[in-house]
Structure 1
């Protein structure tokens, strides 16, 4: 949680204003993620989305997930987005895309409590809490780490859902 802005010894970067600005960036990121399925103004949305990340960003996902691994380099954001979309494509209605984020900040870190959701073709509903930790640098995300409550359950759901899609093809 953010310390009080006038607390003795609190560095300028830890003041509430810095935390609020960092939360605003990450809030915009979550809004972009939630509206990713809307083709309207995709190019402008994608440019704004990428702009939220520092060019030297590293994105971390659990290695066992289909979109798992560490993403770095010039195309880190695009590769991570493509892997995530490949894993969850067709499993998230507009309602499933609602992440229900709650934002907390301390200094150059923003923590987001959110929900990963999906619905398979046979109606299996997946809804699990997750946490992301974002480290900020100069108003942009320099490090992103996603933590799912139960990685095995995420993998199981995605495998079952992909088998259904394969069987229908």
Structure 2
């Protein structure tokens, strides 16, 4: 079974693995990222430039970091993913943390991401 167009867009976002050219092609210029407060740089980010310039720098705390989506659920213009963050901090601490991402798509692009995750493993890895 092939992906729906909405799931294909979200899958492409995950497959980008930080490639800003790909991210800019799948995320709307006026997108909103709503990241749980206890996540590194948690908060609400309005606009793709803010997402990239103000939220994405937390990746610098890691020598390796990726989000792996394990399951996709679609309802019209909404895609929910369940997955795991996998990372190794610059100080060598490995971390794994579960997440749920709630995407809203508009005109073939991601217009909103609401994120929640188990932030404790990541906080512990970053404090040591």
Normalised by the length of structure 2, the TM-score is 0.80
Change (3 A) 1:92 1:123: closer
RMSD: 2.5
Change (3 A) 1:122 1:48: closer
Q: 1 or 2, which has the higher helix percentage? A: 1
Output one character per residue of 1:113-142: Cα deviation in whole Å (capped at 9) or x when no partner. 121111235543211111101011121111
Change (3 A) 1:82 1:156: farther
Unmatched segments (≥5 aa) in structure 2: none
2:72 aligned with 1:88? no
Normalised by the length of structure 1, the TM-score is 0.63
- 1:60 matched residue in structure 2: 34
- 2:74 matched residue in structure 1: 105
Q: 1 or 2, which has the higher strand percentage? A: 2
Q: Within 1, Cα distance between the matches of 2:43 and 2:127?
A: 18
Q: Within 2, Cα distance between the matches of 1:101 and 1:62?
A: 20
Unmatched segments (≥5 aa) in structure 1: 1-16, 37-44, 161-169
- 2:96 matched residue in structure 1: 127
